[in-house]
Chain A
Amino acid sequence: MKEPEYYEIRHIKGETTQIEVDNGRLESGGTSFFDVAVIRVLGDSGWGVVSVDTFDPDNKKKLNEYLAQGMALASITGEKVKIEPTEAFLLPVPSLKENPTGISLEEKADLLMGIERSAKIDSIVSTRANYIEKHEEVLFFDSSGKEFTYNTTRCGFNVLAVAGKNGLIQMASEREHTIEGFNLRHKAETGLLSAELAVSLLDAKPAKALTVNAVLDPELAGVFAHEAVGHAGEGDLVLEGSSVLKGRIGEDIGPDFLTISDDPTLPLFGFEPVDAEGSTVVKTDIVRNGKINAFLHNRETLCRIGDGQLGHARAMAGSVPIVRMSNTFIENGDAKREELFSECREGVYLKGSRGGQVDPGRGVFQFNAEYGYLIENGECTRMIRDVSLSGEILSTLHSILLCANDRQMNEGYCGKGGQSVPVSDGAPHILLSNAVVGGSVVD
């Protein structure tokens, strides 16, 4: 067998505990187990990848077979690949305030039932709560001699409330996910919060379709940063020509007070102690002072296109590392929250997120608020529901008029290339001028 130019093995084993409470019933609860490995081999003209389960890192004979299998696969590739040299520095994984492994399944279920129970108020017709806890033991080693291991524990819960009246149903949910340890205690009020919001939405008016000034809350503005800028700043999309930001380093994209960053070193839900290719993780400012500043990179994309930093390769267990965001946020501005509303005068205040999506090649994105309010004469008035925003990456950021100084981060999962990874997004309140708001009512 011809020797590979480089190879790496990423072996992850662990277990997942899930509990579901549905309308007061403990529907399911239990633990499952996984053990997967990805062997990635760089041949003369591209990558060969072998993905297997129940991997034994001490079985050298089997490992050599996998490497040969990877080299055979690499022989059908047709793209000469060079990779950036890298040093690995392993950040310590944040310590757990309370380790969930020491808590019985019964106690977790009791606490989750309490959260779900608190959502049962008048007009609520359905409630559901889910808890998920995932432990991963990661082993990485490569042909350059790098080797490290680390363990992570992520856990969190969602609670959903559905309100009904006169044939109309509305839903609201709350979620809290963390890397800091067990988080089900003293959270009963989150069920109540989701229930009260769902009931309020029964009387909210459907949003009108219009172009209007909009204040986004930190959660929605975080999704805005993720969808409108973050994905287009991923080096693999830039390399393949699927990003409108390609070739635009140094160009103005927004006001000079605007900085948008991705930082996997922060001890938040998107934290990584080291990236999935063994590179040291770093903060990257994708937009700095209103200019496109840098792309997020893995070893291959940095080598090919430059303009950025390593440390942004991530992979779901059993999958190939690709360039991903981690903890993505708009930096604080210097405006006070109240100034945004008085400056807006007439418009909409949009809160919460039902997610978003982007076509980075075309440069168009869409994201949806959970609910909002009309802003009339600088004051929030009537509640509105089912409202989304869309925009074009290269022009929308210029419409940010003000950033407040109250940044908050929210946790979630991001999907790309069939892989879902934990992330957090955040921002301060921001004011957008002339935002295109999608609603089902047309004047």
Chain B
Amino acid sequence: MRWWVAVSWIERAITEGLKKVDEIEIFTVEGQSITAELRGKSISVAKEESSSGICIRTIDKGRIGASSTNNPIEWERCLQAAISAGKLVSPQEWSGLPGQQNFPSSKPCSDPQVQLGPAFLKDIIYGLIEGSKQYNADITSGGAEASRTRISLENSNGFQASVDYTDNSCSLETIHESSTGNEFDMSWEAKLDPFQTGKTAAFYAEKSWKGSDINTGTYDIVLSPMALGELIESTLIPALSGKNVHAGRSLLKDKLNEEIAVNSLKVYDLPSTTEGLGSVLWDTEGTPTKRIDFIKNGALNAFAYDIRTASRYGKVSTGSAVRSGASGSPGIGHHNLLVEGRNTEVLEEPAVFIKSVVGAHTANPMSGDFSVELSNAFLAENGELTTPVRKAMLAGNVFEMLKVIQGVSKERKVIGDMILPSVRIHDQTVIGV
């Protein structure tokens, strides 16, 4: 235990801050992690990291200021910077920070079996290597990581809570001739399957070798969970943010209650599930979290809000404030985003299967238009990947894709803060030769 044990500085910061502003909030993160990086079959780098950070937010007559530091000894400098920032910005309507609350006991996303020691990682690395031997591919890079994090939030209205997380993950990059493959696994529990991860990475490298050209045309496609996540991350997800909606930066503005997808499609945030990595009872402003049905039976049903955006536009926070560490103010996001639809055997009928894409971040975030290169693509039918595709692009529009989803797989994969199935989509443009 380190500096947060001596929480007296937090009480002092709140007391000092309240002499100058209406409300004050202190968000702290402290974490430790250990990482082992592979080059070929050997561990080339082993790393331990300890990090801490505080973000102080002040609100005075609707003016919100923030500052952060990773040196808590400098809290007074940080507080002063937050107050100065607040004096600069435009005032807004502000409904207030949450007060004291009692949260029900919940399943913690912390597993004592996740060990921050070399032996724990060596076992995972061994599994990756053994798994990769199931196919003819060489390891290029990869690794394993385990971490523990404590997040604490305290404000001048009496909110005070903290939560502990564990996290462990592994990944492997492989190559066979000039055909590459990769796979990863992540969980808060010590239940990774490194053998299967290594095996899958090697499978795609070997089986993608000597691919055939594909004619340019329209095809039914199957996006793996990874490819789906890559495409929606910079298009659909920001369009669900209340801030982008009200700022005119979302194509979904004015489409609430409209059919925007096939009627079987559900897209929702489920903070309570422990299946993903983002299980949480309160968001990073202290608002209780709840399920948010963004797309329900194909209709646009809700947007996500934090307190700042909700206050400004007469809405209520949906408990969607998220932060990336302690280095800044909260933004709007989700905790465990799930995509569900009509369950089907997605590879039963002929399709182009796409494991991942190259260049998803170059999609047009406003319109949803994209054209990306395919990675580990195959012609598929009868549930099998039959012929690898040598090289092709996929072009389309993410929002239009939602309207022609034919079905989703029962199996799904945790990808950070998303839990996604494979998705079968009708008539998409594949650019080959």
Contact = CB atoms under 8 A, between A and B. Distances in A.
Interface stretch (A240-248, A306-314, A324-332, A400-408): A240-248
A363 interface: yes
B212 interface: no
B362 A438 contact: no
Interface string B173-189: 10100111000000000
A374 B288 CA distance: 53
Given A168-B367, A357-B361, A442-B217, A35 B70 contact: yes
Interface string B359-402: 11110111101111101000000000000000101011100000
Contacts of B52: 53-54
B359 A388 contact: yes
Interface stretch (A41-49, A286-294, A337-345): A41-49
Interface stretch (A70-78, A87-95, A148-156, A249-257): A70-78
Contact of B44 (A33, A46, A75, A355): A46
A46 B45 contact: yes
B175 A241 contact: yes
A33 B68 contact: yes
B162 interface: no
B250 to A, nearest CB: 8
A363 B373 CA distance: 12
B131 to A, nearest CB: 18
B395 A366 contact: no
Nearest to A105: B88
A33 B369 contact: no
B429 interface: yes
Contact of A240 (B40, B50, B64): B40
A28 interface: yes
B134 interface: no
A326 B70 CA distance: 28
A209 B429 contact: yes
Contacts of B179: 362
A241 B140 contact: yes
B248 A126 contact: yes
A168 B371 CA distance: 18
Contacts of A118: none
Contact of A31 (B73, B85, B141): B85
Contacts of A364: 358, 373, 375, 391
Given A29-B88, A33-B78, A357 B46 contact: no
B369 A242 contact: no
Interface in B382-433: 391, 393, 395-397, 429, 431
A362 B180 contact: yes
Interface string B109-125: 00000000010011000
A386 interface: yes
Interface stretch (A19-27, A136-144, A421-429): A19-27
Interface string B72-92: 011001100110111011101
A53 B50 contact: yes
A164 B254 CA distance: 13
A19 B89 CA distance: 9
Nearest to A239: B39
Given A170-B366, A320-B45, A209 B68 contact: no
Nearest to B372: A366
B129 to A, nearest CB: 11
B366 A54 contact: no
Contacts of B375: 359, 362, 364
A273 interface: no
A241 B38 CA distance: 12
A354 B372 contact: no
Contacts of A52: 49-51
A392 B70 contact: no
B370 A33 contact: no
B362 A76 contact: no
Interface string A166-209: 00111100000000000000000000000000000000001101
Contact of A28 (B85, B121, B369): B85
Contacts of A109: 88
Nearest to B308: A27
B68 A32 contact: yes
B251 interface: yes
Contact of A49 (B45, B84, B180): B45
B247 to A, nearest CB: 5
B138 interface: yes
Nearest to B375: A359
B216 interface: yes
A51 B47 contact: yes
B48 A32 contact: no
B397 A440 contact: yes
Q: Which of B36, B46, B361 has the most CB of A within 10 A?
A: B46
Contact of B373 (A23, A35, A79, A365): A365
Contact of A33 (B74, B367, B431): B74
A173 to B, nearest CB: 11
Contacts of A9: none
A28 B138 CA distance: 49
Contacts of B359: 355-357, 366-368, 388, 390
A31 B43 contact: no
A354 B364 contact: yes
B265 to A, nearest CB: 21
A240 B43 contact: no
A28 B358 contact: no
A366 B394 CA distance: 11
Contacts of B45: 46-49, 77, 320
Given A73-B47, A359-B180, A439 B247 contact: no
Interface string A1-45: 000000000000000000100110111111111111000000000
Contacts of A51: 47-51
Contacts of A209: 216, 371, 393, 395, 429, 431
B42 A78 contact: yes
A267 B82 CA distance: 34
Given A76-B122, A438-B393, A49 B46 contact: yes
B393 A32 contact: no
B241 to A, nearest CB: 12
Given A47-B46, A386-B367, A440-B371, 17 more contacts: A46-B46, A50-B47, A74-B46, A109-B88, A169-B249, A171-B364, A171-B367, A239-B39, A356-B359, A359-B180, A361-B180, A362-B375, A368-B362, A368-B371, A388-B362, A390-B358, A442-B431
Interface of A: 19, 22-23, 25-36, 46-54, 69, 73-79, 81, 105-106, 109, 125-126, 128, 162, 164, 168-171, 206-207, 209, 239-242, 244, 318, 320, 354-359, 361-368, 385-388, 390, 392, 436, 438-442
Nearest 3 A/B pairs, CB to CB = A30-B85, A438-B371, A368-B362
Interface of B: 34, 36, 39-40, 42-53, 64-71, 73-74, 77-78, 81-82, 84-86, 88-90, 92, 118, 121-122, 138, 140-141, 173, 175, 178-180, 216-218, 247-249, 251, 327-329, 358-362, 364-367, 369-373, 375, 391, 393, 395-397, 429, 431
22 contacts: A25-B89, A30-B66, A30-B82, A31-B67, A34-B69, A46-B42, A48-B46, A52-B49, A52-B50, A53-B52, A76-B36, A76-B118, A77-B45, A171-B249, A240-B140, A354-B364, A365-B358, A366-B359, A387-B371, A390-B373, A440-B371, A441-B429
